[in-house]
Amino acid sequence: MDKPRNDSALSNAAVFEVDAVEYRYEDAAALDGVSLYISSGESVVLLGANGSGKSTLLKMLDGLIFPTGGSIKAFGAGLTDDALKDEGFSMSFRQRVGFVFQNSDAQLFSPTVWDEIAFGPLHLGLSPEDVKERTEDTLHILGLQHLRERPPYHLSGGEKKKVALASVLAIGPEVLLFDEPTAGLDPKTESFLIRLILQLTAAGKTVVTATQDLRLAAAIADRVMVLGEDHRLAGEGEASTILGDRELLLTANLIHDHPHRHGGVEHFHPHSHLKDHHGNEHD
């Protein structure tokens, strides 16, 4: 079953307007003429093979890097290096937009899990009591109480991911950017995360998730965008339409042929792993 459409997605207020964006690293192209529009309250999934430019695009939406061509607006204002040098704009933007990195090690820096989660609320200028309450609530929601005194850099990959997620949720941003949020999570934690994303969108948050996981896309997306290996937008539309477009998914290397063993006989067939969170096949 596809995700039921969230009516607030129809409100159409622009969160991000990306216009003909290009991005080149010193030695590699990462985005080539990408235009897209993300409305308030939508859950958008960005699909693409390794190296197609998903993380680069999310970093741009978070104002961590800036286009080498084209432009980006966030909440109607230009999202530029200069704009973010303004303390007021930067503070408000960082409060409104939260980013959970693909690589948790790049996100975690505090001596304990508790400090990591409390960091955001502390910098929002909340009272010590409110910081404590918000940190405790977030620890509880993510089931991290038993790790509260541990140093984040000693945790397992999945535990680190949860702490990174907690540190962002504790700020209460209205827009959440998730980069490969389910990578490395066990099935129970993955299904918890899917429920969490559905709750966030039901509460009116805007969620942009970069992934190669078609099951995750089927479970959470209102709309899907596909980045091709040429770093251009290869397709975009309602989740059910895009996830049913076998040609598009094959071209973008999101489904593939690989060998299976059935009854001792090895053979190839196209493979998509496209099940939703109820276990229903989608192709």
Q: Is 48 in the site for ligand ATP (CB under 6 A)?
A: yes
Question: What whole-number distance in Å separates Cα of residue 259 and Cα of residue 107?
Answer: 37
- Find the shortest distance in angstroms from Cβ 164 to Mg ion: 15
Q: Which helix (H) or strand (E) holds 235?
A: strand 233-238
Q: Which helix (H) or strand (E) holds 176?
A: strand 175-179
Enumerate residues 71-110 that contact ligand ATP by CB under 6 A. Answer: 102
DSSP-derived letter for residue 259 is E
Q: How many residues form the binding site for ligand ATP (CB under 6 A)?
A: 14
Comparing CB distances to ligand ATP, the nearer of 51 and 244 is 51
Can you tell me which of 7, 50, 81, 258 binds ligand ATP, judged by CB under 6 A? Answer: 50
DSSP-derived letter for residue 268 is E
Can you tell me which of 8, 39, 43, 55 binds ligand ATP, judged by CB under 6 A? Answer: 55
Beta-carbon contacts of residue 154 (< 8 Å; ≥ 6 apart) = none
Can you tell me which of 17, 22, 33, 51 binds ligand ATP, judged by CB under 6 A? Answer: 51
Q: Is 129 in the site for ligand ATP (CB under 6 A)?
A: no
Comparing CB distances to ligand ATP, the nearer of 27 and 81 is 27
How, if at all, do strands 175-179 and 97-100 pair? parallel
Q: Is 55 in the site for Mg ion (CB under 5 A)?
A: yes
Q: Which helix (H) or strand (E) holds 116?
A: helix 113-123
Each residue 192-221 as x (binds ligand ATP by CB under 6 A) or -, in order, gives: --------------------x---------
DSSP codes of every residue in 16-54: EEEEEEEEEETTEEEEEEEEEEEETT-EEEEEE-TTSSH
- Find the shortest distance in angstroms from Cβ 103 to ligand ATP: 9
Question: What whole-number distance in Å separates Cα of residue 67 and Cα of residue 49?
Answer: 21
Judged by CB under 6 A, the stretch of 9-17, 43-51, 78-86, 251-259 that binds ligand ATP is 43-51
Judged by CB under 5 A, the stretch of 102-110, 134-142, 198-206, 233-241 that binds Mg ion is 102-110
Binding residues (CB under 5 A) for Mg ion: these are: 54-55, 102
